[in-house]
Homo-oligomer: A and B are copies of this chain.
Amino acid sequence: MIGGVEAGGTKFVLAIGTSTGEIVQRHTLETTHPDDTLREATYWFETRGPIAALGIASFGPLDLDRTSPKWGHITSTPKRGWANCDIVGWFRERLGCPVGFDTDVNAAALAEWNAWRQTDSTLAYVTVGTGIGGGVVVGGQVLGGKTHPEIGHIRVARHPLDRDFAGVCPYHGDCLEGLASGPAIEARWGHRLGDVEVKNAQDMIAHYLGQMCYSLFSITAVERIVLGGGVMQTEGLIELVREHTKQIDDGYLPTGIERQIETPLLGTKSGITGALLLASLALSAAKT
Q: Please give the residue numbers on chain A whose beta carbons come within 8 Å of chain B beta carbons, in ascending order.
A: 121-122, 134, 136, 138-139, 141, 143-158, 171-172, 174, 211, 214-221, 223, 248-254
Residues in chain B near residue A121, CB distance under 8 A: 145
Query: How many angstroms between the C-alpha atoms of A252 and B169 in the bound complex?
Result: 11
**Known interface pairs A146-B223, A153-B253; 6 further A-B residue pairs with C-beta atoms within 8 A, sorted by A's residue number:** A122-B143, A134-B219, A143-B221, A147-B221, A157-B174, A219-B220
Name A121's closest neighbour in chain B (CB-CB). Answer: B145
Residues in chain B near residue A220, CB distance under 8 A: 136, 143-144, 149, 219-220
Minimal beta-carbon separation of A122 from chain B (angstroms): 7
Assess the B154–A215 pair: CB atoms within 8 A.
yes
Assess the B122–A223 pair: CB atoms within 8 A.
no
* A219 and B149 contact, Cβ closer than 8 Å, known pairs A138-B143, A250-B171: yes
Q: How many copies does the complex hold?
A: 2
Residues in chain B near residue A152, CB distance under 8 A: 218
Assess the A252–B171 pair: CB atoms within 8 A.
yes
Query: How many angstroms between the C-alpha atoms of A154 and B214 in the bound complex?
Result: 7
- Residue of B151, B156, B158 near A219 (CB, 8 A) is B151
Assess the B145–A214 pair: CB atoms within 8 A.
no
- Residue of B145, B174, B211, B218 near A150 (CB, 8 A) is B218
Assess the B248–A172 pair: CB atoms within 8 A.
yes
